[in-house]
Amino acid sequence: MNSRRMNKGYIILTLTLILIVRSAAWAQDEQQPAPAPVPAAGQDENAVPTVSENPPISAIDQPGLEPHAAPESFLVPGLHFSESVDSNVGDTTAGSSLTSVTRALGSLTLQKLWRNYDVAMDYIGGVAYYDQSGFGLQQLQQFDIDNRINWKRGQLAIRDSFSYLPEGTFGFGAYGGGGAYNLGVGSLGSGLLGGGAFGGQSSAFSGGNGLNIALGVVPRITNFALADVVEELTPKSSVTFAAGYGLLHFYGNLTDQNSLAGPLQENVSFIGSSEYTGQVAYNRILTPRDQVAVSYGYQAFDFSAVGTAFHSNVVQAMYGHRISGRMDFVISAGPQFTRINQQECNIPTIPAASCTGLGGTVSTVGESRLGAAGRVVLRYRFPRTTVSLSYQRYDTNGSGIFAGALSDIVTADARRPLSRVWDAFANAGYSRNSQLQVPGSVVNSGTFNYIYAGMGLHRQFSRNLRGFVSYQFNYVSFNNGCPLGTACSSASQNHVGSIGLDWTPRPIRLD
**Residue 421 neighbours by CB under 8 Å, 6+ apart:** 459, 460, 461
Instruction: Please report the DSSP string for 87-126 in residue order.
Output: S-TT--TT----EEEEEEEEEEEEEEE-SSEEEEEEEEEE
CA torsion sign for 260, 261, 262, 268 is positive
Calpha distance 153→155 (Å, rounded): 7
Radius of gyration from C-alpha coordinates of the chain: 23
Beta-ladder partners of 220: 165, 250
Calpha distance 338→437 (Å, rounded): 11
In residues, how long is the chain? 511
Contact at 8 Å (CB) between 263 and 490? Answer: yes
Contact at 8 Å (CB) between 119 and 146? Answer: yes
**Residue 292 neighbours by CB under 8 Å, 6+ apart:** 283, 284, 286, 317, 318, 319, 320
**Span 141-170, pLDDT tens digits:** 888 899 999 999 999 999 998 889 888 777
| 106 phi/psi in degrees, rounded to 5 | -125, 150
Three-state SS at 230: strand
pLDDT of residue 361: 72
Assess whether pLDDT exceeds 50 at residue 175. no
For the entire predicted model, the pTM comes to 0.79
Contact at 8 Å (CB) between 307 and 353? Answer: yes
Q: To which H or E segment does residue 13 belong?
A: helix 2-30
**Span 368-397, pLDDT tens digits:** 889 999 999 999 999 999 999 999 999 988
Give the range among 147-156, 276-285, 316-325, 400-409 with minimum mean pLDDT: 400-409
Assess whether pLDDT exceeds 70 at residue 501. yes
Three-state SS at 56: coil
Could you tell me where the DSSP H helices lie in 362-455? Answer: none
Calpha distance 255→304 (Å, rounded): 20
Calpha distance 478→22 (Å, rounded): 48
Total Cβ atoms within 10 A of residue 497: 18
Give the range among 212-216, 218-222, 252-256, 421-425 with minimum mean pLDDT: 252-256
pLDDT of residue 35: 42
Calpha distance 131→347 (Å, rounded): 47
Give the range among 3-7, 60-64, 269-273, 489-493 with minimum mean pLDDT: 3-7
Assess whether pLDDT exceeds 90 at residue 290. yes
pLDDT bracket for residue 1 (50, 70, 90): very low
